[in-house]
């Protein structure tokens, strides 16, 4: 069942069904192995680790990554921006903080003051070495929290395209991302001081970075579930209409073709990153 308290939405294990996407290409999504000693009975208990996901818009959630987190005995909680004040929220000290995407700009803090609070939260966690994952807008907010510039790009980037991994990226969990991923952004970031570039693309020099062992920022999306993607197309219709040469039909077809495999690769990527965090403690 789902409960909502002080801006949080908490989902129990019963809400999370095994990942299935019948609209995507054939082939089963790899289900990550559960660590030794973990059990479904531990989920949601005091012994379970907690992952808090800051969600800006309802259709951009953890998607396929949520199943992987639950398989590793994480208790997943969503904090929905706009439902409560982040400054007064009782976030506690989650094992993992995930800042999700959304149709906002990380530098637009005057019009959306909650962005400044998110940046402050990330600053504190990064300084303390607590694990943080940024996806899309979350990656830009992490770059801002580390003192880097985020600014409008030369053009929008919406669609599926592969990454080019750096040597550091090839040696990292991003090695699993061997196919196209979903790009949906209008801004670019400068690589923060002390961060390591992990990936670029044909049109963007910086697509992912790591900051030490405990922070990972992905400007792109591997969490997308194809059968839920229509919500993106509806909610972001003005952006699609304004993008030269972009076809909704092509975007929908490419998502049906690539999302299952990108989700499987994203699960493996995040699972390996979490395992590295665990070994490093």
Q: Are 198 and 223 in contact (CB under 8 A)?
A: no
Asked whether residue 24 is assigned to any structural domain, the reply reads: no
In a domain, 210, yes or no: yes
**Parts of the chain with a pLDDT under 70:** 1-47, 88-89, 281
Tell me the pairing of strands 96-99 and 49-55. parallel
Q: Is residue 21 part of a domain?
A: no
What pLDDT is attached to residue 9?
A: 61
DSSP H or E segment with residue 115: helix 114-128
Domain that holds residue 115: 2-15+31-280
On whether residue 23 sits in a domain, the answer given is no
**Does residue 263 lie within any of the structural domains?**
yes
Position 22 in a domain: no
Structural domains counted in the chain: 1
Q: What is the signed CA dihedral for 128, 130, 133, 138, rounded to 10 degrees? A: -40
Q: What is the dihedral of CA 247, 252, 30, 220, to 10 degrees?
A: 40
What per-residue confidence (pLDDT) applies to 86?
82
What is the per-residue pLDDT for 279?
86
Nearest-10 Cα torsion for 102, 119, 144, 194: -120
Its sign, for the CA torsion 72, 171, 158, 135, is positive
Global confidence as pTM: 0.85
pLDDT at 88: 66
DSSP-assigned beta bridge partners for residue 76: 51
50 within domain boundaries: yes
Q: How far apart are CA 54 and CA 97, in angstroms?
A: 8
CATH number at residue 220: 3.40.50.880
How confident is the model at residue 280, as a pLDDT? 76
Read off the tokens for 68.
Answer: 């992987």
Contacts 24+ apart (CB under 8 A), 161-164: 161/201, 161/202, 162/201, 163/199, 163/200, 163/201, 163/207, 163/208, 163/220, 164/199, 164/200, 164/201, 164/202
Distance CA 263, CA 182 (A): 10
Task: Note the pLDDT of residue 23.
Answer: 40
Q: What is the DSSP code (8-state) at residue 248?
A: H
The candidate with the shortest Cα–Cα distance to 125, out of 157, 175, 91, is 91
Residue 151 lies in a domain: yes
């Amino acid at each position: 069942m789902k409960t909502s308290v002080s801006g949080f939405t908490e989902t129990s294990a019963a809400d999370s069904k095994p990942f299935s996407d019948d609209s995507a290409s054939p082939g089963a999504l790899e289900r990550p192995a559960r660590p030794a000693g973990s059990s479904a009975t531990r989920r949601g208990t005091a012994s379970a680790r907690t992952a808090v996901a800051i969600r800006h818009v309802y259709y951009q959630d953890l998607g396929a990554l949520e199943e992987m987190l639950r398989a590793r005995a994480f208790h997943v909680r969503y904090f929905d921006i706009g439902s409560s004040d982040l400054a007064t929220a009782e976030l506690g000290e989650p094992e993992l903080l995930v800042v999700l995407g959304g149709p906002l700009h990380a530098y637009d803090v005057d019009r959306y003051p909650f962005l400044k609070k998110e940046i402050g939260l990330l600053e504190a966690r990064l300084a303390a070495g607590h694990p943080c994952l940024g996806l899309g807008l979350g990656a830009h907010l992490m770059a801002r929290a580390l003192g880097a510039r985020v600014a409008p790009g030369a053009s929008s980037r919406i669609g599926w395209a592969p990454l080019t991994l750096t040597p550091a990226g090839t040696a990292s969990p991003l090695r699993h991302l061997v196919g196209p991923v979903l790009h949906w952004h209008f801004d670019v970031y400068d690589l923060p001081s002390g961060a390591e570039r992990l990936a670029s693309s044909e049109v963007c020099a910086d697509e992912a970075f790591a900051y030490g062992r405990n922070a990972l920022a992905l400007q792109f999306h591997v969490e997308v579930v194809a059968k839920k993607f229509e919500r993106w197309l509806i909610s972001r219709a003005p952006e699609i209409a304004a993008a030269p040469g972009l076809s909704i039909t092509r975007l929908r077809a490419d998502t049906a073709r690539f999302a299952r495999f990108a989700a499987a690769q994203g699960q493996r990527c995040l699972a390996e990153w979490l395992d590295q965090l665990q070994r490093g403690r």
